[in-house]
């Protein structure tokens, strides 16, 4: 019995102390999309609670990585080639899962503060956040389709990498701002905070941000999903009314 108790005590003493603990906050926990919505800024802030007795003054400095990921889903990426003088879609690759929005903010260059092993484990960088298992036979450069998807979404503001945009004060307080574009997909967005040292993740925390349509946007979205025929007739009626109104307006001007 004494031998068992001694063994348990030895194992407990051998366990590493948790020297860092995260506390985080969001300026908004819900984003409402209305007819006038043109994007939003989210302030992400928090503190690293540290066990000062476990801090080595000669150890590597702490860094913070913040990610915000929108709802993920499959998507198809096409390759266009010139065939007989006409640009046409030829090959395609089905990406199994890609976030509709993904932003990364860091306190330093990402390759310097995060190892490849930790990136693979936690899926932090943009390429790691995209899951593409395989490609059709005959396509040898499947990775280029994922690269193309990243470039397209970087251009329209859906994928962001903001190195050195987060601030960490006295290895304790951190904050950054993430800009959400106007073309947001409705759903739950996951905010993740990682504290790293020498490329290794010490601790991490996450919190949700709910993005939803309200008002007229919500009504039209629900109508298009639940009663598509009525939605189509309403859209046609609005188009006819807009055309008639424009025609009448120009006739009055000519008079």
Task: Please report the sign of the dihedral spanned by the C-alpha atoms of residue 29, residue 65, residue 206, residue 16.
Answer: negative
Task: List, run by run, the mean pLDDT of 10-residue segments along the chain (255 residues).
Answer: 39 46 86 76 88 64 94 85 72 85 95 95 94 66 82 92 92 90 88 94 92 62 62 70 72 70
From the list 169, 237, 218, the residue with the least C-alpha distance to 37 is 218
Q: Collapse the DSSP code of 223 into the 3-class scheme (helix H, G, I; strand E, B; otherwise coil) and give the result.
A: helix
Which residue, among 14, 59, 34, 12, has the nearest Cα to 196 in the 3D structure?
Answer: 59
**What six digits make up the tokens of 81?**
């080639």
From the list 41, 30, 16, the residue with the least C-alpha distance to 180 is 41
Residues with Cβ within 8 Å of residue 132, at least 6 apart in sequence: 93, 95, 96, 142, 145, 146
CA–CA dist 76, 90 (Å, integer): 12
pTM, rounded to two decimals? 0.73
């Amino acid at each position: 019995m004494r031998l068992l108790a001694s063994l348990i005590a030895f194992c407990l003493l051998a366990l590493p102390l948790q020297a860092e603990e995260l506390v985080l906050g969001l300026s908004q926990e819900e984003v409402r999309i209305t007819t006038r919505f043109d994007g939003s800024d989210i302030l992400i802030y928090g503190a690293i609670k540290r066990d000062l007795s476990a801090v080595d003054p000669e150890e590597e400095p702490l860094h913070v990585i913040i990610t915000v990921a929108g709802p993920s889903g499959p998507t198809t990426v096409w390759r266009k080639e010139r065939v007989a003088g006409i640009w046409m879609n030829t090959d395609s690759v089905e990406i199994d899962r890609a976030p509709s929005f993904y932003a990364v903010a860091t306190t330093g260059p990402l390759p310097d503060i995060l190892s490849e092993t930790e990136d693979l484990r936690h899926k932090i960088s943009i390429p790691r956040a995209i899951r593409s298992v395989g490609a059709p036979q005959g396509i040898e450069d499947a990775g280029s389709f994922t690269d193309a998807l990243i470039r397209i979404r970087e251009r329209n503001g859906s994928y962001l990498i903001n190195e050195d945009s987060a601030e960490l004060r006295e290895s304790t307080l951190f904050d950054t701002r993430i800009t959400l574009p106007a073309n947001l997909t409705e759903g739950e967005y996951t905010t993740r905070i990682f504290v790293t040292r020498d490329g290794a993740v010490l601790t991490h925390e996450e919190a949700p941000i709910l993005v939803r349509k309200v008002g007229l946007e919500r009504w039209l979205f629900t109508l298009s999903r639940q009663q598509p025929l009525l939605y189509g007739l309403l859209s046609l009626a609005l188009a006819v009314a807009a055309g008639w109104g424009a025609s009448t307006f120009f006739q009055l001007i000519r008079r």
